[in-house]
Amino acid sequence: MENKSKEIKRKKVDWLLSQPIETQLELISHHMEICRLMINSIIEQEVSDYTGQRYSHDKPHNNRFCRWGFNPGSVKIGDQKIPVDVPRVFDKEENNNISLEYYEKLKELPHQDQQLMGSVLRGLSMRDYGEVVNQLQDSFGLSSSTISRSFIERSKEALEEFEARKLTSEEFVAIFMDGKCLAMQQMVIALGVTLTGRKIPLGVIQTTTENATSIKGLLKDLIERGLKFEDGLLFIIDGSKGMRKAIIETFGEKAVIQRCQWHKRENVVSYLNEEDQQYFRKKLQAAYREPKYEDAKEKLLSIHEELEVLNRSAANSLNEGLEETLTIHRLKMYKYFDRSFTTTNCIENLNSQLTKYIRKVKRWMSSDQRYRWVVLGIMEAEHRMRRVQNYKELGLLKDAIIKEINTKMGKQCAA
């Protein structure tokens, strides 16, 4: 962030709004940088009143004033001094630099207490830029006309980008989907992985994992926003029947499903007593760690036979969807993506970050509030996401998915 601070030292709010959403979010997480941008915008307004807009030929006051470089300065916000570059304005008639009234007012700001900073941060977190501006206005002692109303509106629009951003320019190989109880309600999140290994949150919906109709609505929205799936997509899910149904009904033969091995293992052992749980957990883990599809399946079938004798419910749990827990094995991609695509860990990590982000909210007032917090939490987490392991081999995974789809369609034609 230190380099970013140097870069934006003379930037203003309009610069922030023109940046990629990742940059906007990075700065939002550092409220002092937001204050710096607002300070620059306030000072620039006064400078423009004297000299006209930068690079404009329309000069007020008969071109009496001109820009004349910068002087180092600072404005105290809370307990911190924010360095700013203060523009010099030269008066050609008086042959000297003039004093900027707004900068002098900013330097004389009363001490801002922690409550003000907390209010600013809450406003940023909740995408309420109007409240942020109001808080800073009151602190700066400036009238509302000082701060452009277009900034408020455009800032709101910037954080709505998540809901509408196009997916046409990305080539996705896989999509993780998972349901999580966030803000006391079930939320289903979709996280895409591109051919270059980038993780991109795609969408979120307030519903249960068993509500196939609602999840189909989320998936259809992704398609309308440009999600390409002609070559097929790998879907990694926890085993929810409603989620699986929604995927199959939306993408048909173009969907290749990998069920989470961790969830399968835990579902199976949940039927057993504590002593047997430890034993079969190790056996199941060893089976899934076999790199070859045939060996892994043979071990799982052997475990199934053991469970048939011990606990039929556990045996039935293992048998249900067993083949889909071995999709990465069957595609011969286990050696590359055993850690990336055999479980829902990628999206579980995102859910964990979301839980930490929204737990500060003590009272949920509406679905809109819940959705805004979850979406902003997702966007906040996005720029910290690392590429998947062995991302350079994702081209091989894509080829394997295409081959799998062609094989399935060939069998259907033969039938």
Phi, psi of 174 (to 5 degrees): -145, 155
Rounded to an integer, what distance in angstroms lies between the CA atom of residue 9 and that of residue 36? 8
Torsion of CA 339, 341, 342, 348, to 10 degrees: 80
Give the pLDDT band of residue 17 (cuts 50, 70, 90). Answer: low
pLDDT single digits (tens) 40-58: 878 888 898 899 877 677 7
| Structural domain spans, the chain | 2-113, 168-409
Q: What is the pTM of this model?
A: 0.64
Note whether 212 and 249 are within 8 A (CB). yes
- Count each helix (H run) and each strand (E run) in the chain, helices first: 20, 8
Report CA-CA distances (Å) from 355 to 22, 73, 348, 358, 363: 20, 40, 10, 6, 15
Task: Write down the mean pLDDT value for the chain.
Answer: 81
Give the pLDDT band of residue 134 (cuts 50, 70, 90). Answer: low
Note whether 12 and 41 are within 8 A (CB). yes
Rounded to an integer, what distance in angstroms lies between the CA atom of residue 45 and that of residue 14? 12
Rounded to an integer, what distance in angstroms lies between the CA atom of residue 26 and that of residue 300? 46
The reported pLDDT for the residue numbered 325 is 98
Note whether 222 and 167 are within 8 A (CB). yes
The reported pLDDT for the residue numbered 194 is 96
The reported pLDDT for the residue numbered 152 is 36
* Rg (the chain; Cα; Å): 28
